Each structure stands twice: as C-alpha cells, then as structure tokens.
Structure 1
Amino acid sequence: MNVKLKLPFVGEFGGTWAPQRAEAEAAWELYVELATRITYVELRPGEGLVREALTSVYSLFGTTRDILRRYGPAVSPADRAGELTFGTLALTVLNLSLRPMLARWHPRLLAWEDRRPDDVSKMDHENAWDQIGELRAKLEEARLGLVQLADVLAKVAGAAPLVVDPRLLSNPEKERGGG
C-alpha cells in the first residue's frame, strides 16, 4: 500500500508499506487509540481546553511505546530496514512531528497557566492568552496528520473506519428547524 501523510515539522512523508500480520494488529491498536482521543475531533475556538488536547497528544507516546514493546521487532523487521514499517511510521509521527510541537507549546502554555488568578476559570484564562489562536492552529495541523495516520492504520488493519464524518449524520435539531 502507498502511504502519504502531511505532518507538521516533517511535511509530506510516506512510501510503500507491505504490512505483516503483527503490523496489522499493532495498527488496529494504535488506530483505536487515535480514533478515541480528543485530538481526533476538531477543537473549535471556545470549545474545550487546549491543555486537554496537548495532554492527549502527549499520552500517545506512552501508548505507542507499549504497542511497540508488545509486538517487538515484528513491527519493524531487520530485513525491511530502510522501508516503511509500523515502527518507522509510528516513531516518525511521534519524534519528528508531535515531539517538536509539544516541546515548543507545553512549556509556554504551562507558564501561562501558572499565571491564572484564582477567580478566573481555566477556560477563560486559557482563551485570554495571546498565543491561544496559534496553538489551536498547530493542534489542528497535528490533528489532520493524526487523522491521515488513523485512516492508513484502519486500512492496514483491514477495518472499516470507526469514526463517521459528522456531516453524514442526521441532525434531529436541524430537521426540526432548530438550526
């Protein structure tokens, strides 16, 4: 299968991937993790906390490490060195795309959070930050890359997507004329 992802800090990345059984199983596990996280759904302005989204992205490191340990070298076999494998794909996304974003934004957001007065809600304080728009834009770039990765992982696992495009769902409120 041909894989092409557009990742923050990396640009376009991909190649040909001939996944083995262990890679398909690992792909399913990581797909489930990606499809069930806050970072899989667009975080619109004024919705949710960016801190939660950053924490969700950060937790992918532990999840991915666990998957890699559990499946071992079978997800990046020595005879396929230099080729695209589950291992190379997962670590490229983590180390070259998500890590630089977290290294830049986590400490900046933490410094802003430390300045929150007791009488101001976390959401109001976060939304008052002069860099919140830029951080939300970076999270959206990361989300789009993770959605692309999730789509590839679902295909490799031989699974139908678990997440339905919200535009395809009926909206009872809209059907009643409520908007």
Structure 2
Amino acid sequence: MGDGEIFLRGARWRTRRALARGPAWSPRCDGHEGSNSQVIEIRNLSKRFGSRLALDDVSFVVEAGRVTAFLGPNGAGKTTTMRVLLGLDFADSGQALIDGRRFVDLEAPILSVGALLDARHAHPGRSAFAHLRALALTHGLPQSRVEDVLYDVGLSEVAGKRVGGFSLG
C-alpha cells in the first residue's frame, strides 16, 4: 500500500471461505455490516502546522460498497487527512469519522480498520505474510485472518515476497 491508502474491513469484504461458495474474487465490497452507509465521513476538516495551512475545510464521504481512491499532488493534505482520521493527529476544526465514530471511539479498531500510511514502518526484509502475522499475533487474531486479508486485497500470490520489494507507487 502506498502513501494515503486505507483498507476498511467494516465494508465486509468477501473472505476466501465465502468465495468458495460464490463467484470469483472482485475488489468490490458486498455491503456494509453497520447501519450507516457512510464508512468514512470527513466533515469541514481544517488543520494547521504553525503558519502552514494543511487542510482547509475538507469534506467528503466514502460510502460502503465503493472502491475509492484518494489522489492529489504532494502536499495536498492526503496523509494529514488520513492521520486525523486514524487519530494520529488532531484537527483544528471539523470531524473525521469511521462508521459515524471517531477512530479512538471504535470498540476494536484493529478488527475494522487497517492502514499503512508509510511503508517505512514495515520491515523491508519481512514478507507481507510475516508483517501481517506479527500484527495479528500482537492483537490476538488467528493466522487464518492474515490469509483472509491477503486474499481479500488480492495479495495472496505475493504473500511470501519481501515488503521491501513492493512498489510504493
């Protein structure tokens, strides 16, 4: 995953087991487990770093069941928006919500949101599988969940490849 990408499990991606009973893999979500059709909502988000305005009244909605890209040039505010959404930075004003709640208010965030904002935080010598397995082990998740996630995002065939060899583009 490159800068500014996010995968939300709350949109109920089809697992390997479900696919054994249904059609071939597709990056489309099947629907949403919660009652809110808006998986991500950014409302009037503003953020300054000193005198530099990083976000200026940003608003958008990502609906369940939609594959959505977040694009823009360097310095456009993509990473800052994602950091605010994930509770890593605080906005000066506005809201960043996942399923209608702030990230810090989610009951078990590791079960509903997965994000890698900077590939430097994954050990380049570890495989994709080993990286996710380490995360799963530290959060009490079974190894089968790692396999499901790799399949869900279309990376099963490269699960053994070192993260340092992945393209960041």
Note whether the superposition's TM-score is higher than 0.5: no
TM-score of the superposition, structure 1-length normalised?
0.26
Q: Which has the higher contact order (CA 8 A, sep 6+)?
A: 1
Q: Hey, which of these two has a bigger chunk of helix by percent? A: 1
Larger radius of gyration: 1
> Could you tell me the TM-score, scaled by structure 2's length?
0.27
Structure with the bigger percentage of strand? 2
